[in-house]
């Protein structure tokens, strides 16, 4: 599993002093954007090619709290890739204690940026398809 790390920012917390539940989607998105950049290409460059990757499903389970300034890690992996859709699995841990705080997954599809129509990477962008396919375990 690939790992992303950073500290919880103050604005990500709520009045109770914990990361607001909606921000876990942002944490995993930050990790996913870095994962794509580290393994495939910069997402901005992908958009310049005309490819976007909308989210079609995201779900998760809250296990423990993260608080302001906690160092956390997001361990993630690509679990499914068809060239039209892909799925990721995530585990968010408190990096200091090792405690699992959130686990979940997200599913995405590849689309043309102008009309959001699904595309087949294998047909339209074979090099990009190969880069993603090589990462599926």
pTM of the model: 0.94
Q: Which of 14, 38, 45, 69 is catalytic?
A: 14
* C-alpha distances out from residue 27 to 2, 48, 88, Å: 14, 24, 13
Q: In degrees to the nearest 10, what's the CA dihedral of 61, 65, 67, 69?
A: -70
How many Cα neighbours within 13 Å face the side chain of 84?
5
Is 14 a residue of the active site?
yes
Average pLDDT over residues 18-24: 97
**DSSP H helix total and E strand total for the chain:** 4, 7
With a cut of 80, say whether residue 137 has pLDDT above it: no
pLDDT digits (tens, 9 = 90+) for 23-74: 999 999 999 999 999 999 999 999 999 999 999 999 999 999 999 999 999 9
């Amino acid at each position: 599993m690939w790992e992303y790390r950073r500290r919880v920012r103050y604005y990500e917390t709520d009045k109770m002093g914990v990361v607001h539940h909606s921000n876990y989607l942002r944490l995993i998105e930050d990790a996913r954007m870095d994962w794509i950049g580290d393994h495939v290409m910069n997402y901005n460059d992908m958009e310049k090619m005309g490819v976007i990757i909308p989210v079609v499903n995201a779900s998760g389970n809250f296990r423990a709290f993260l608080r302001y300034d906690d160092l956390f890690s997001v361990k993630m992996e690509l679990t499914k890739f068809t060239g039209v859709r892909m799925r990721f699995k995530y585990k968010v841990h408190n990096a200091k204690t090792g405690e699992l705080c959130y686990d979940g997954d997200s599913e995405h599809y590849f689309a043309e940026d102008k009309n959001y129509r699904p595309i087949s990477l294998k047909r339209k962008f074979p090099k990009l398809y190969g880069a993603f396919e090589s990462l599926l375990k």
